[in-house]
Amino acid sequence: MKEQPVKIAVTATGAKAQQPYPKRSSTREYTYMSLNISGRHLEITPAIREYVLNKMARISRHFDNVIDTQVVLSVEKLEHTAEVTMRLRGKDIHCEAKDENLYAAIDLLADKIDRQVIKYKTKVQNHAHEPVKRQLEATE
């Protein structure tokens, strides 16, 4: 059975709101990220879903231009695998983490994807500089 993607609203402080269209107040600013969680040979319980939601909310603190996020949790024998594919403007980021414990694999995944998003954000910010035409005029 295919589940509908969850749209979570993340406040500036990192707390999430469950409403699809939260009321805007003057003190909070919301960003939306479409998050789809699925499992292979594994049932996604509400506790696992909540844990993944909390970990993925960290990413929107660093970068708010996330278009879509797909998380796939799987188990093979005694090895738990967590994968994420995150679509950003101009780039897709894929990350995978394996561990004996599912929650540890989700933690590793959150750390890896967080580092990759920060790296992408710094690259985007560093390339926003003066055009070459203006640089040549300044040196002459």
Residue 62 within a domain: yes
CB 68 within 8 Å of CB 86: yes
- State mean pLDDT over 99-122: 93
Report the share of the chain in percent with pLDDT over 70: 67
What confidence score (pLDDT) does residue 5 get? 55
Domain count, the chain: 1
Residue 92 within a domain: yes
Residue 1 within a domain: no
The number of C-alpha atoms within 13 Å of 71 and in the hemisphere containing its C-beta is 29
Residue 81 within a domain: yes
Angle at 49 between CA 47 and CA 52, to 5 degrees: 110
What confidence score (pLDDT) does residue 67 get? 85
Distance CA 13, CA 51 (A): 17
What confidence score (pLDDT) does residue 138 get? 57
Q: Which of 14, 53, 61 is nearest to 37 (CA)?
A: 53
Domain ranges, residue 110: 6-139
Residue 30 within a domain: yes
Q: Which tokens sit at 24?
A: 């805007």
CATH of the domain at 11: 3.30.160.100
* pLDDT, tens digit, 9 for 90 and up, residues 127-139: 666 666 666 565 6
When pLDDT is cut at 50, 70 and 90, the band that residue 72 belongs to is: very high
* pLDDT, tens digit, 9 for 90 and up, residues 14-62: 444 444 444 444 444 445 678 899 999 999 999 999 999 999 888 877 7
